[in-house]
Amino acid sequence: DGGITQSPKYLFRKEGQNVTLSCEQNLNHDAMYWYRQDPGQGLRLIYYSQIVNDFQKGDIAEGYSVSREKKESFPLTVTSAQKNPTAFYLCASSPSDREVGYTFGSGTRLTVV
């Protein structure tokens, strides 16, 4: 079955450490997105990519970086510059047909220890 796979499900980061969250989709979707969700809050856009080798900053890109070397993959790196990284991170994808909606991965819970 097609879908989006995020890994790991839980991740613990030490102060000053960079960590990378994986997002892989086999839906042949063109666009991919990274969101952050804090408890009781809505989804905030970190980065998005509409095509391979191209991506744009979202509303809260500071302290994060991404790459889109393959259509299927859109990894997110949380750098040490992100001062408050503890959150639920969600990856999503969508096809060119914007009437279809967005498919989410099951998320990664990142905690700073």
Partner 1 sequence: RKEVEQDPGPFNVPEGATVAFNCTYSNSASQSFFWYRQDCRKEPKLLMSVYSSGNEDGRFTAQLNRASQYISLLIRDSKLSDSATYLCVVNVGSYIPTFGRGTSLIVHP
Does residue number 65 form part of the binding site for partner 1 (CB under 8 A)? no
Cα–Cα dist 50/47, whole Å:
10
Terminal Cα-to-Cα distance of the chain (whole angstroms)? 36
Instruction: Sort residue 58 into left (φ over 0), alpha (ψ -120 to 50) or beta.
Output: beta
- Give the nearer residue to partner 1 in terms of CB position, either 43 or 60: 43
The one segment of 13-21, 43-51, 64-72, 78-86 that binds partner 1 by CB under 8 A:
43-51
Residue with tokens 């009781």: 40
The one segment of 14-22, 60-68, 70-78, 105-113 that binds partner 1 by CB under 8 A:
105-113
Q: Which of 1, 2, 10, 42 is close enough to bind partner 1 by CB under 8 A?
A: 42
Does residue number 9 form part of the binding site for partner 1 (CB under 8 A)? no
CA proximity to 89, closest of 16, 20, 14, 3: 20
Interacting residues toward partner 1 by CB under 8 A: 31, 33, 35, 41-43, 45, 48, 50, 58, 88, 90, 94, 98-107
